[in-house]
């Protein structure tokens, strides 16, 4: 994977995106809220502006294939949570575990841990081919997962199938 470099989304691009969402909301809000739970227009716009302001506070990193927004969150009684919002430059879907692992390693650290959340339907956000990892930095670890063993293999053992590390 190519090196990530710091990037910025121009304010004009953010304003264009906001205007497009408002235009679509005014024409047919069900295109945005397919579940039919359409908020009042003024609340939708204020939420949209709040999200855009929040986006400006994030670090953005890009390489030839991915753009990643990084936001650091303070959480009571937990280590800081680092949210990685990951999308491909070409906007296609992804779910290559190794590539997500490498992005986490490059931007948060190889000993950091990250999780992908499959939320309750009431908290679902699914409007783009965008993927989210929530990470904690080493030496912290989540209280779940594999402990005490590292098993990495290209071998097909016990009817398992694994792709080569050299071929992606």
The chain-wide mean pLDDT, for the chain, equals 88
Domain assignment of residue 128, given as a range: 5-136
Residue 162 lies in a domain: no
Residue 70 in domain:
yes
Identify whether 158 is part of a domain: no
Q: At 158, is the pLDDT very low, low, confident or very high (cuts 50, 70, 90)?
A: confident
pLDDT for 115 equals 97
- Residue 168 pLDDT greater than 60, yes or no: no
Query: Facing residues of 132 across strands?
Result: 85
More confident residue, 37 or 150: 37
- 31 within domain boundaries: yes
| Any domain includes 149 | no
Question: Mean per-residue pLDDT for 59-75?
Answer: 93
- The tally of domains found in the chain comes to 1
C-alpha to C-alpha distance for 32 and 49, rounded to whole angstroms: 16
Least-confidence region, from 26-30, 66-70, 123-127: 123-127
77: left (phi over 0), alpha (psi -120 to 50) or beta: left
Instruction: Evaluate whether residue 141 is within a structural domain.
Output: no
pLDDT at 55 over 90: no
| Res 167: pLDDT | 55
Does residue 142 sit within a domain? no
Residue 80 and residue 17: Cα distance in Å, rounded?
A: 30
For residue 95, being part of any structural domain is answered with yes
User: 78 versus 164: which is more confidently predicted?
Assistant: 78
Q: Is the dihedral of CA 124, 125, 126, 130 positive or negative?
A: negative
Mean pLDDT of 123-149: 90
Q: Cis link prior to 82 (omega < 30° from 0)?
A: no
The pLDDT score that the predictor gives to residue 100 is: 96
Measured distance CA(62)–CA(66) in Å, rounded: 6
3 state DSSP class of 108: coil
């Amino acid at each position: 994977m190519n090196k990530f470099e710091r990037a910025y989304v121009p304010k004009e691009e953010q304003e264009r995106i906001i205007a497009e969402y408002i235009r679509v909301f005014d024409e047919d809000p069900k295109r945005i809220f397919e579940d039919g739970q359409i908020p009042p227009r003024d609340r939708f716009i204020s939420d949209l502006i709040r999200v855009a302001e929040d986006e400006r506070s994030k670090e953005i990193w890009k390489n030839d294939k991915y753009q990643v927004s990084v936001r650091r969150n303070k959480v009571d009684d937990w280590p800081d949570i680092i949210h990685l919002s990951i999308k491909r430059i070409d906007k296609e879907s992804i779910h290559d575990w190794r590539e997500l692992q490498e992005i986490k390693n490059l931007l948060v650290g190889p000993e950091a841990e990250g999780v992908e959340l499959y939320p309750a339907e009431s908290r679902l956000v699914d409007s783009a081919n965008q993927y989210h990892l929530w990470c904690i930095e080493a030496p912290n670890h989540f209280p779940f997962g594999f402990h005490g063993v590292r098993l990495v293999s290209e071998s097909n053992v016990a009817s398992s199938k694994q792709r080569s590390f050299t071929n992606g």
